[in-house]
Amino acid sequence: MIYTVTFNPAIDYVVRLNAPLQAGAVNRAAGEDCVLGGKGINVSGVLAQLGCPSVALGFVAGETGAWLERGLAAQGLQTDFLHLPSGMTRINVKIKAEQETELNGAGPAIPPEAMAALYKKLEALQKGDILVLAGSIPASLPADTYERILARLQGHGVRTVVDASGPLLARVLPYGPFLIKPNHHELAELAGCPLPDDDAITRAARQLQSQGAHNVLVSMAGDGALLLDEAGTVHRIGVPQGKVINSVGAGDSMLAGFVAGYLQSGSYAQALRLGTACGSATAFSLGLATREEIERLLEQL
């Protein structure tokens, strides 16, 4: 089974304006949507489109948390969230106008006893399960939370996938994650130098591999992606043609496609191909990738 973790899920209230946003005045919306998300939840959503069941773990609180749970269930996603005793699952306001403006909620504090309950759930994972950890850590949790999770899972045979940046990613490398997915900017930050071409990116990826990562998937936006697999083989792929509408969730979609592609084929080349199609399908859409759009783009790769 695949498990995803979203520490701070959100309901995104997306408001569209036909005119520039006027500060200090009444602005009337031309349209609005509510999108349920968070990086781990996005991964679970795209996995469902690909026919791969998963369980979304994490924390919810208050009436907004109950709303998020009901909404995900209506989408056919399986969840096993922990319910926090106080606070509320955050609402993020996304204003789409001449310029985009975002107001992101803080979300509820996660007390130590809630984290202990999550650790207990994670320690019940079985050999062969996949655990996806994506995104940043809420301020109420220790900065080494990902490291603590991987340390607890050592020896369990669980394959871990980590999409994070900076020290958060660097700390998990000694625990041998199955897959890490930095983008090229994050990889350059870890390398401490510019990465002007594929050779430089490959060298930086090999450095992370030497520190413990099995597979390193580097996303490069419109320039495609590069994968250094656990056998040391470098795979390079471009992107299909299309207009980028919204890049939010594209990296999560690539991660979901890669995991599903590898489980279905056992081939890293096929995993990279499906991951690229999924990431592009989300980037070319208003929401997350649909199976129909993924299959259409696969034909171009």
Mind listing the domains of the chain with CATH numbers? 2-8+37-88+107-298 (3.40.1190.20)
- Phi then psi for residue 147, to 5 deg, are -60, -45
Catalytic site residue 252?
Answer: yes
Structure tokens at 165: 């940046």
* 41, 45, 258 from 269: Cα distances, Å: 25, 23, 9
Structure tokens at 272: 């990279």
Catalytic choice (129, 163, 229, 252): 252
Which of 272, 291, 268, 271 shows the shortest CA–CA distance to 281?
291
Burial of 260 (0-12, 13-18, 19+ CB in 10 A): buried
pLDDT by position in tens, the chain (length 301): 999 999 999 999 989 999 999 999 999 999 998 999 899 999 999 999 999 999 999 999 999 999 999 999 999 999 999 999 999 999 999 898 988 899 999 999 999 999 999 999 999 999 999 999 998 899 899 999 999 999 999 999 999 999 998 999 999 999 999 999 999 999 999 999 999 999 999 999 999 999 999 999 999 988 999 999 999 999 999 999 999 888 888 999 999 999 999 999 999 999 999 999 999 999 999 889 999 999 999 998 8
Instruction: State what percent of residues in the chain have pLDDT above 70.
Output: 100
Which of 142, 151, 195 shows the shortest CA–CA distance to 173?
151
The structure's pTM equals: 0.94
Q: What is the mean pLDDT of the chain?
A: 95
| CA 223 from centre of chain | 19
Alpha-carbon distance of 134 to 161, in angstroms, equals 8
Phi-psi map region of 275: left, alpha, beta (phi>0 left; psi -120 to 50 alpha): alpha
Cβ(225)–Cβ(18) below 8 Å: no
Q: Express each pLDDT in 251-276 by its tens digit.
A: 999 999 999 999 999 999 999 999 99
Residue 74 neighbours by CB under 8 Å, 6+ apart: none
Cβ(57)–Cβ(6) below 8 Å: yes
Q: Give the residue carrying structure tokens 């996603």.
A: 77
